Amino acid sequence: MPSAADIVLSVVDPADEPSRHAWWAVGESASRDRAYDAWPSWGAAGPELASPRTDTDVTLVLAVDAQQRPVGAGRLTLSTMDNPHLAEVEVYVAPDARRQGVGSAVLADLEERAVVAGRTTALGTTYAPVGAESAGSLFCAARGYPVASHEETKLLDLGTAPATWPALDDEVARHLGGYTVVGFEDVVPEAYVEDFCALLCTFLTMIPTGDVDFEDEVWTPERLHEHERHTAASGRTWIVALALTPEGRACGFTEVGISRAEPRMASVGGTMVAAEHRGHRLGLAMKMHNHRRLLELFPGCQHVETGNAGVNAAMNAVNEALGYRVVERSLDVQKRLAPAGSRRV
Ligand SMILES: CC(C)(COP(=O)(O)OP(=O)(O)OC[C@H]1O[C@@H](n2cnc3c(N)ncnc32)[C@H](O)[C@@H]1OP(=O)(O)O)[C@@H](O)C(=O)NCCC(=O)NCCS
């Protein structure tokens, strides 16, 4: 049994495969009590963890016990393009090393790094069964992280759901008017880069996110191209559908990402329709287009996962129509960090 006093924390060099694997393995063991197989396989996660980004600073921290056994893992993610007050924190502890203070030690280390970087709000996400608490939700409450947004994780079974989609095609056709949907993979066609960036800039503050302290993100063509480069280097395929106005301007998007090494599960990144273009079933139209393309490219893909706020009625209606079902609660938690000078040592 480790005790917090025996724990040694160190920063993982993402280029060092054994350390990277040790970090991944702690996260894998810590995620086994999730409602589904949520943690990516090593084949999927390894290249992503190794691929540096220029729009985000990522620090991986590993905790080992007195026997040098990896028992805890943390990740600190700092956007360098926007939201300069935010720090995203993730903490994982192996099941047989819990309730010994390892999680608290890893979290304190991440918070310290966030404060040194000038961040004032720490943000995390933890998961719990529907109608119940989990180790993660109780840990967050105990460590001063109240819930800022109640979200839900949803899964779509691609083996059964598509049978129900033809009926939805009729509904979409009745509402689309002059709007259309186009799709592409991996690289945004030049004609849509500017409009897509404009949509991404408003996405975070447009969707319901409760009390989470988000500011608008900054998306430039350079950042979009960096995202394309990082996705490709991570071994992932990025599948996007855009909604187009009758004039041919992009007014909405939906996107999924999937690991080419292990294409069992795809994840939705984001979906939005600009406010003035709603009411044409564009959310449904784009998602059907994108999910069908996903199945064409990866016929063995079994599930798509997504997450959004329980109060997001419009998105929930689209997801329900497509066949998504809620599998767990996903809680966005947040804590104000005391500035460096005012911290007790
Ligand atoms: C959440 C997690 C990191 C906690 O790790 P840990 O090493 O057990 O945490 P600590 O020992 O530092 O616990 C600190 C306090 O949190 C609370 N807590 C943690 N786990 C708890 C549990 N299962 N039930 C009740 N309270 C719990 C307690 O108040 C605990 O203090 P105590 O043991 O003195 O009562 C671990 O359970 C885990 O990896 N879960 C899956 C990933 C996750 O949800 N991460 C958190 C969000 S980023």
Mutate to test the pocket of ligand 1, among 139, 143, 335 (most ligand atoms within 8 A of CB): 139
Which residue has the least CA distance to atom 9 on ligand 1?
103
82's CB contacts (< 8 A; 6+ apart) are 215, 216, 217, 218
* Cα distances (angstroms) measured from residue 50 to each of 40, 42, 78, 109, 125: 14, 12, 17, 22, 22
Cα Rg of the chain (Å, integer): 21
For residue 99, the ligand 1 atom closest to its alpha carbon is 11
Q: Which CATH superfamily is domain 155-330 in?
A: Gcn5-related N-acetyltransferase (GNAT) (3.40.630.30)
pLDDT tens, residue order, the chain (345 aa): 556 778 999 999 999 999 999 999 999 999 999 999 999 999 999 998 998 888 899 999 999 999 999 999 999 999 998 899 999 999 999 999 999 999 999 999 999 999 999 999 999 999 999 999 999 999 999 999 999 999 999 999 999 999 999 999 999 999 999 999 999 999 999 999 999 999 999 887 777 778 888 888 889 999 999 999 999 999 999 999 999 999 999 999 999 999 999 999 999 998 999 999 999 999 999 999 999 999 999 999 999 999 888 778 888 888 999 999 999 999 999 999 988 766 544
Which residue has the least CA distance to atom 40 on ligand 1?
136
**Longest CA pairwise span in the chain (Å):** 66
Give me ligand 1 centre to Cα 90, in Å: 12
Residue 138 CA to chain centroid, in angstroms?
21
Structure tokens at 156: 């779509």
Q: 266 - beta bridge partners?
A: 258, 304
Which residue has the least CA distance to atom 33 on ligand 1?
99
Which residue has the least CA distance to atom 42 on ligand 1?
92
DSSP 169-216: HHHHHHH-TT-EEEEEESS--HHHHHHHHHHHHHHHHHS--TT-----
Q: Pocket around ligand 1: residues whose beta carbon is below 6 Å from it?
A: 30, 90-93, 98-104, 124, 126, 135-136, 138-140, 142
Which residue has the least CA distance to atom 15 on ligand 1?
139
Rounded to 10 deg, the angle between the 17-30 and 42-50 helix axes is 130
Which residue has the least CA distance to atom 24 on ligand 1?
135
Nearest to 176 by CA among 319, 17, 284: 284
Give me ligand 1 centre to Cα 331, in Å: 15
Give me ligand 1 centre to Cα 202, in Å: 35
User: In whole angstroms, what is the distance from residue 28 CA to residue 311 CA?
Assistant: 30
- In this prediction, residue 342 carries a pLDDT of 65
Give me ligand 1 centre to Cα 152, in Å: 21
Give me ligand 1 centre to Cα 44, in Å: 27
Asked if the 4-119 domain carries CATH number 3.40.630.30, the reply is yes
Domain ranges of the chain: 4-119, 155-330
Mutate to test the pocket of ligand 1, among 60, 76, 99 (most ligand atoms within 8 A of CB): 99
DSSP 74-132: EEEEEESSS-TTEEEEEEEE-GGGTTSSHHHHHHHHHHHHHHHTT--EEEEEEEE-TTS
For residue 104, the ligand 1 atom closest to its alpha carbon is 12
User: In CATH terms, are 4-119 and 155-330 the same topology?
Assistant: yes
325 sits in which H/E element = strand 325-336
For residue 102, the ligand 1 atom closest to its alpha carbon is 7
Which residue has the least CA distance to atom 25 on ligand 1?
138
- Beta strand 236-244 pairing with 8-11: unpaired
Torsion of Cα atoms, 12 then 343 then 144 then 31, to 10°: 10
